[in-house]
Amino acid sequence: MIKILITYLFIFATLSVRAEDGHKLWLRNSNPKPVNAVCTNSSPMLTIAIQELQQGWQGEANALVSLKIIHNKDIFRDGFKMTKNKIQANTEVGILYGVYELLRRQQTGEEIKEAIVNSSYERRILNHWDNIDGSIERGYAGLSIFWKKGKDSLVVTEKDKVLWKEYARANASIGINGAVLNNVNASPLMLSKAYLERVKSIAEVLRPYGIKTYLSVKFSSPSLMGGLKTSDPLSPEVIKWWNDKTREIYGLIPDFGGFLVKASSEGQPGPQDYGRTHADGANMLADALQPYGGIVMWRAFVYSATDKDRAKQAFLEFKPLDGQFRDNVIIQVKNGPVDFQPREPFSPLFGAMKKTTVMPELQITQEYLGQSTHLVFLSTMWEEFLKSDTYQEGAGSTIARCTDGSIFPQKYSAIAGVANIGLDMNWCGHPFAQSNWYAFGRLAWNNQLTSDQIADEWIKLTFHQSALNANQPRFSEDWKMNFLKPVSKMMLQSREAAVNYMMPLGFHHLFSATEHYGPGPWWAPKGMRKDWTPPYYHKADSAGVGFDRTKTGSNAVSQYHEPLLSQLNDVRTCPEIYLLWFHHLPWDYKMKSGKTLWDEIGAHYDNGVKQVREFQKVWDKVQPYVDNERFVQVQEKLHQQSENAQIWKDACLQYFQKFSRKPFPIDIQGPVNDLDELIKEDLGKH
């Protein structure tokens, strides 16, 4: 009997460990204490708020917690006022956010004191690049949670609703209040009645969690769906078609958020096809949405084939239109001027548009940063971006302040993140990729948070149950010293490590054409447009390397305000992290370290490899504090990341050595991969 009992307990413990599959994200309520929640109002949203308190309360047992809707002029939009046992807000969703804030502080051990907590941005939105066949463009965590293919693709099941509810709860817990459900490369079928009915079903699940649904739309839908001869935004019949379609959508989804549009970009149709401007196209849609309170998010990711400087094109197209857009149009701008690279200077559009609302577009899914294989905590990247000074209205005009309404009065403020969510059990493919979803939500709510704080929160919320499984009290000094501290340090260093082993010192777009994953600085097939090839960006030759964007080069520096313009233009004052972005320099150029440029490049690549190897050591040491399933998964991915980092280093240094004609720096490890073999393998994939 004893033997049977021991066997049963072993099996139960094993199953408990196996059940730690990451699906719960950072919402790991354990051993809640009883609590009495009192709310004078009632609604599905307030019911959720009460349930969350009951399922996660870590405060004084049997405490009385008051949830009350009030009218306080110091509370903005969906903000709230909180104490240890009271949440007050002007809106129901403010109450819900207050509950999540209170529970998070309890669960992480953060001090709870009376405070008014307001959000930085009004609209905090995930952009899903999901296709209606269930695939996801730049998705690395399985198929779509919203769409699927097959004869029953539009049938809504209870399993669908459960998953959507879990998704909504995770978003609400970090303040995300909007979701664009489909790819910016939109299918016109998205606006058909059958698909809109499914959107209605999704919206009904998301609504009680305060999340609005949005749709990406194809600009030529009137022609493709409506049978019109044109999609000209100034055509009366086109205007009527969009007005009718918008009315139909709001009839199904009264709180519909609006449209996201990729137009006149990468082959997608747009107003320029009809001799019109971005403003003409955006305003036509904005007028259709205006009676219902909807917005248009018009993407500024535009470029045409060029031999000049692709990085300048969005500014050149949009800056002349400043002031011509309706007040419910928001220009959605990627953080950098090219395309979600491991490091870019900020897009100059953030310092250019003074009469038009601009919203940042960040990429949570790691398209150019190792996808779901590499551990790269993106909060440090976004913090660097948000704190960058545009000097738009003098010193202190950070991107955060330029976009959240602090500097210019604007009707709306918004921020978007391209989601990394799929059907994988842990939602994001890599256990640590969840931290980027979390970090986006936290920074969207409060753009002044530090990455240190966000990493600390996420680790405590995501791994504390592992500590309990290891018979450790929550957040013991041992756990903090031997798990929290080293893992946090690893996360905070991870983005810089990726920059080092991929593209240091301002290098950019050195990727192979194979899904933007591995290195390919050599990739330039005959007949390919130049701005789709790495040599266009690195300009390596026997004289040196780097893209000259100074006043005597492409003059991209002129798109920035002084004193930043002069700082970037002068090689002596340009930050070295952007050096090769703005300057073409000799291989023997002397760096601040005293090394030549060639030796400095080598040192960065070598350091990146060493950093990832150190991450492996850190993770191996924390094994006693982590459930076996997630430990092994991360360990395997770090091993692959280490191999990838070595390939990046070997490929790039050997390739650029052909131009520098200099020996490998004597103080770094030599290559272990043969360049010709790497090139052969890469080209064989195409």
Could you give the residue numbers annotated as active site?
266, 339, 367
Calpha distance 549→9 (Å, rounded): 66
Cβ burial of 99 (10 Å; 0-12, 13-18, 19+) is buried
DSSP for 383-447, please give it: HHHHT-B--BTBTT-BHHHHHTTSSS--S--EEEEE----SSTTSSSSGGGHHHHHHHHHHHH-T
Question: What token pair was written down for 499?
Answer: 């920059």
CA atoms 159, 163, 166, 169: torsion sign: negative
Question: What token pair was written down for 470?
Answer: 């290891």
**Helices in 207-351 by DSSP H: which ranges?**
221-224, 236-252, 278-289, 313-318
Residue 377: alpha-carbon gap to chain centroid: 11
The strand pairing partners of 178, in sequence order, are 125, 212
| Look-up of token digits 């501290």 | 485
Q: Residue 670, SS3? A: coil
Calpha distance 77→174 (Å, rounded): 16
The strand pairing partners of 261, in sequence order, are 217, 298
Exposure class string for 507-516: b at 16+ Cβ within 10 A, else e = bbbbbbbeeb
Three-state secondary structure of 58-120: CCCCCEEEEEEECCCCCCCCCCEEEECCEEEECCHHHHHHHHHHHHHHHHHCCCCCCEEECCC
| Look-up of token digits 């005009």 | 397
Q: Residue 213, SS3? A: strand
Q: Which residues contact 495 (CB under 8 A, 6 or more apart)?
A: 342, 369, 376, 377, 378, 380, 381
Report which residue type is found at 567. Q
Supply angle C-alpha 641, 642, 647, rounded to 5: 95
Q: Residue 150, SS3? A: coil
Q: Residue 265, SS3? A: strand
Report which residue type is found at 102. L
Q: Nearest CA to 595 among 498, 504, 495? A: 504
Q: Residue 332, SS3? A: strand
Q: Residue 37, SS3? A: strand
Q: Are strands 80-83 and 115-117 parallel, antiparallel or unpaired?
A: antiparallel
Q: Which residues contact 82 (CB under 8 A, 6 or more apart)?
A: 88, 98, 101, 102, 112, 114, 115, 117
Exposure class string for 586-602: b at 16+ Cβ within 10 A, else e = ebebebeeebbbbbbbb
Q: Nearest CA to 180 among 361, 342, 412, 23? A: 361
